[in-house]
Chain A
């Protein structure tokens, strides 16, 4: 990810990408739109680039837009026939089948109740149909997905969620030096935390929410003294 970034506005044409697209394959991420041969931004924010040819706009947002392949945290809302309705912070509730859990059969249904928290992968996402989630991987194993029991859960902006999930993000490492903990960060801006004691959990949650307003570059700096936040 390049650190020098230009800010783009919705409707702005981005000639640099068009130029690049003439010679090689370009991947347009969220916030960018193609109209024939022109590339136009559809969100406001810094334009990000990743080699070899991926571009996206890292805009500030709190409303999650489901995308296939994302790992999200959701709250079970209700049972509906052979589906569970799950709130993932998107415009529409997502659905997850009874059978989309490890070792689930028609007889052996997972025991989920409204209010439960699950960590799931978005299987299907399209503007016109409700998103579909799964809690198993392609070989039917649970892996890291599933119900999250106990712990504490809070919400943040989508940016903070993404920030924590960057490869080599220093935040979680810095926190580990202070305390042992378990965490689940959804790209939908929801974070679940579990530490040994209640006090530690609260401290971690406060430390993470303290990062809300800081950018990528600042976070690296802050991480040096994250321990100070923990004391509060």
Chain B
């Protein structure tokens, strides 16, 4: 084995339970190398490195955007018609153009704060604050350095118990 080859993990190590993911990765690498070696005379550098704009899709239904062929009309198969309706609704939901808003977002925000709503929003946003934010906020609010110190977790002293 050449000296500069990558160091390899021994079989014994790879068989350990916690090395499972590494093992998979190593195996895949080995496979790739093997297949590369197998086709090395057919695949040239250009094929490997060229970035192509072409994609091949062999299905007519995907290319032409064909619909599902199972259809029912005028109550022949109610079960199927419910499915069709759901699909149609989903599709329309996805492709529906955004409806023009009667109240703009900015107006909405203004009105929201004008109505003193933040009491609710404040309590809700607290939920999503990280601990750090929380601490900073506390610090800003109280402007008392001691308050922050109080939050520190202290090692129990031996004479406590």
* A is bound by B: yes
- Give chain A's interface residues, CB within 8 Å of chain B: 1, 21-22, 24-30, 34, 36, 39, 48, 50, 54, 56, 65, 67-71, 73, 119, 125, 143-145, 158, 161-162, 164-167, 172, 175-176, 179-187, 194-196
Counting CB contacts under 8 A, is B153 at the interface?
Answer: no
A128 to chain B minimum Cβ distance, whole angstroms, is: 14
The reply to whether B69 and A26 contact each other, CB–CB distance below 8 Å, is: no
Chain A residue nearest to B81 (CB atoms) is A182
Q: In the bound complex, what is the Cα–Cα distance between A128 and B57 (angstroms)?
A: 17
Measured between beta carbons, the chain A residues less than 8 angstroms from B62 are: 67, 69
13 examples of A-B residue contacts, CB within 8 angstroms: A28-B57, A30-B60, A50-B64, A70-B60, A71-B68, A73-B69, A164-B69, A167-B65, A176-B74, A184-B69, A184-B70, A185-B70, A187-B69
Given contacts A50-B64, A56-B63, A56-B64, is CB(A165)–CB(B69) below 8 Å?
A: yes
Q: Which residues of B lie under 8 Å from residue A166 when comparing CB positions?
A: 64, 66-67
Interface string of B31-72 (1 = CB under 8 A from A): 000000000000000100000111111111111111111111
Chain A residues positioned under 8 Å from B68 (CB to CB): 71, 144, 165
B interface SS class = loop
Whether a CB of chain A sits under 8 angstroms from the CB of B75 is yes
Cα–Cα distance between A73 and B55 once the two chains are bound (Å): 28
Cα–Cα distance between A24 and B67 once the two chains are bound (Å): 27
Give B76's nearest chain A residue, CB to CB: A182
CB distance from A54 to the nearest CB of B (A): 5
**Is the pair A68, B58 in contact by a Cβ cutoff of 8 Å?**
yes
Q: Which residues of B contact A24 (CB under 8 A)?
A: 53
Cross-chain contact of B56 among A22, A34, A167 (Cβ < 8 A): A34
Residues on the B chain within 8 Å of A119, using CB: 69-70
Digitize B67-110: 1 where CB-to-A-CB distance is under 8 Å, 0 elsewhere. Answer: 11111111111001001000000000000000000000000000
- Is A71 a contact partner of B63 (Cβ separation < 8 A)? no
Q: Report which residue of A22, A25, A182, A195 has the largest number of chain B beta carbons within 10 angstroms of its beta carbon.
A: A182
B77 → A minimal CB distance (Å): 5
Asked if residues A68 and B59 are in contact (CB atoms below 8 Å), the reply is yes
User: Apart from A30-B59, A67-B61, A165-B61, what are 7 other A-B pairs with CB-CB below 8 Å?
Assistant: A26-B54, A68-B59, A69-B59, A71-B61, A162-B60, A185-B70, A186-B69
A28 touches B55 (CB 8 A): yes
Number of A-B contacts defined by CB within 8 Å: 128
Judge whether A69 and B61 touch: CB under 8 Å: yes
The answer to whether A25 touches B53 (Cβ under 8 A) is: yes
Nearest 9 interchain pairs by C-beta? A180-B74, A185-B69, A67-B59, A29-B63, A165-B66, A144-B70, A182-B76, A176-B73, A182-B72
Which residues on B sit within 8 Å (CB–CB) of A71?
Answer: 61, 68-70
Closest B residue by C-beta to A158: B60
Chain A residue numbers with a CB within 8 Å of B66 are 162, 165-167, 187
Contact A22–B53 (Cβ < 8 Å): yes
Q: Nearest A residue to B74 by beta-carbon distance?
A: A180
Which chain A residues border B59 with CB–CB below 8 Å?
29-30, 67-70
The distance from the CB of A178 to the nearest CB of chain B, in whole angstroms, is 10
Inter-chain CA distance A166–B74, complex, in Å, is: 20
Q: How far is the CB of A223 from chain B (nearest CB, A)?
A: 15
Which chain B positions have C-beta within 8 A of A125?
58
Q: A164–B72 Cα gap in the complex (Å)? A: 14
Residues of B within 8 A of A144 (CB): 68, 70, 80, 83
Known contacts A22-B53, A50-B64; A172/B73 CB under 8 A = yes
Given that A119-B70, A144-B80 are known contacts, is A48 also in contact with B56, CB under 8 Å in the complex? no
